[in-house]
Structure 1
Amino acid sequence: MLTHPAGHDLFEDLRARILSLEMPPGMALSRADLSARYGISSTPLRDALLRLQDEGLVDIQPQSRTLVSLIDLDQARQIHVLRSAVEAEVAMRLAQDPPAGLGEELQHLIAAQQDEAQSGNMKGFARLDLAFHEALFRHARLQAVHQVIRRESVHIDRLRALHLMQQEKARQILTDHRAIAAAIADRLPDAAGAQMRRHLSQSILLGPQLTSEMPAYFTKRSAGPEGSAP
């Protein structure tokens, strides 16, 4: 049995398990099993599930069941437009005048990511991937913006988790992170923005292929006409 305090930690743990695909799209969630697993009563669990529903990560069917929501590729594409524009702007701002300590922190995160990739710990790798992007927002003093992006990126994050199952994705992420960090360190705003936009586009571009390979994980509207990927 896991023990977690009611509220924030429970929500964050369930959220992380869904985003990492440990709880895959379409999975039925038993409230009795979750209460037993976490050693909690029904009230904090209900509150956590309602917050997950607000973020689009679970579908609660009253008097019936609770399911992990399917990935909505159309929603992911729309949020990608916002995320790409914002993170490219963040990278460009940082490259204009790199804050003290940023370069060292990014290099540390990249090195740690490489270690996780070599050991095959993709969960740790994904956690450090998020930390890399969070560091950029933090050094740009745009933490509130990062929270908005994080909340709205749930479909993108699960799409990236699917992509990360492919071995070459980890290598590509490391290559991209090095290029972004180098452009910021070299004070090249245009290059930093371009590298960030390229980095964030990879999983979205692979969306149709992933939808075709794992259709049960995606909403029906993620497919094109007559059920084919767009």
Structure 2
Amino acid sequence: MKNPKRFETREGDLRADLRRRIISLELPPGTALSRQQLQEQYALSSTPIRDALLQLQEEGLVAVQPQSRTCVTLIDGEQARQAHFLRSTIEREIATCLAHSAGPELHTTLDRLVRLQEDVATQDLDLFAQLDHDFHQELFIAAGLEHVHDAIRRESIHIDRIRALHLPMGDKTARILDDHRRIAGALRAGSAEQAGAAMAQHLSQSIGMAAKLRKLHPDYFLA
């Protein structure tokens, strides 16, 4: 692990923080994880470190080899493609349904999140990405599908890392903002067709860049 630093993290937050660091590519694919170094960084004993790594292994984010080494897994392009299909199908349907049923509270929330993203787009990509996540989560909540959202998040680790690679490139943040405005506008207008189409277009961008990203970062992807 490069540039080790100390983290103020409670034992219960350890897995979540390591997951965040892997998804955001702070810990890139292929990174070797030293348990001793993690213990020092998080000021925790070996047991919670071991347990957190085993949980992350179950998610497919790390590969644990007993008595050998632990490393961040490479990005699986095929799993990313399948996760994108699942997410795109469900979120397009959610957007279509919410166009007929969304109340003013959702419109207000989405507008607020877009404004917050506008404020940080050129300053804090990590916060921008979190607000992007929040925007989509609010749609699941409004549709009463929180458990579906959780299931999709578990299946989206590879597409999430592809998106993290894509986010700093070119006008990606501007395009996300434009897409969010279109989705929110279509929902406010009650146009199911426009809302579904805007969502499908929005979710297609990063997976469409996967081949190019693989060429730029071949060491990050499974062969």
How does the TM-score come out when normalised to structure 1? 0.93
In structure 2, the residue matched to 1:189 is 192
In structure 2, the residue matched to 1:93 is 97
Q: Which one of 6, 9, 21 corresponds to residue 4 of structure 1?
A: 9
In structure 2, the residue matched to 1:124 is 127
In structure 1, the residue matched to 2:83 is 79
Give 1:197's aligned amino acid: A
**Which portions of structure 1, spanning 4 or more consecutive aligned residues, are displaced by more than 3 angstroms?**
none
In structure 1, the residue matched to 2:32 is 28
Deviations 1:30-56 (A, max 9, x none): 000001110111111111111111111
In structure 1, the residue matched to 2:3 is none
What pairs up with 1:150-165 in 2 under 5 angstroms? 150-165=153-168
Q: Which one of 182, 186, 206 corresponds to residue 209 of structure 2?
A: 206
Q: Which one of 160, 164, 179 corresponds to residue 176 of structure 1?
A: 179
Deviation of 1:26 after TM superposition, in Å, equals: 0.5
Distance in 1, Cα, partners of 2:210 & 2:9: 35
What pairs up with 1:137-156 in 2 under 5 angstroms? 137-156=140-159
In structure 2, the residue matched to 1:227 is none
Deviation of 1:165 after TM superposition, in Å, equals: 1.6
Deviations 1:98-137 (A, max 9, x none): 123000100110010011113x211111111101111111
Distance in 2, Cα, partners of 1:2 & 1:165: 25
In structure 1, the residue matched to 2:137 is 134
Deviation of 1:148 after TM superposition, in Å, equals: 0.3
Distance in 2, Cα, partners of 1:139 & 1:14: 29
Count of residue correspondences: 218
Give 1:190's aligned amino acid: E
How does the TM-score come out when normalised to structure 2? 0.95
Q: Which one of 53, 57, 63 corresponds to residue 53 of structure 1?
A: 57
Distance in 2, Cα, partners of 1:52 & 1:26: 14
Distance in 2, Cα, partners of 1:198 & 1:56: 28
Give 2:127's aligned amino acid: G
Local SS of the residue matching 1:85: helix
In structure 2, the residue matched to 1:228 is none
Give 1:72's aligned amino acid: D
Identity %: 52
In structure 2, the residue matched to 1:224 is none
Deviations 1:118-172 (A, max 9, x none): 3x21111111110111111111111000000111100000000000020311011
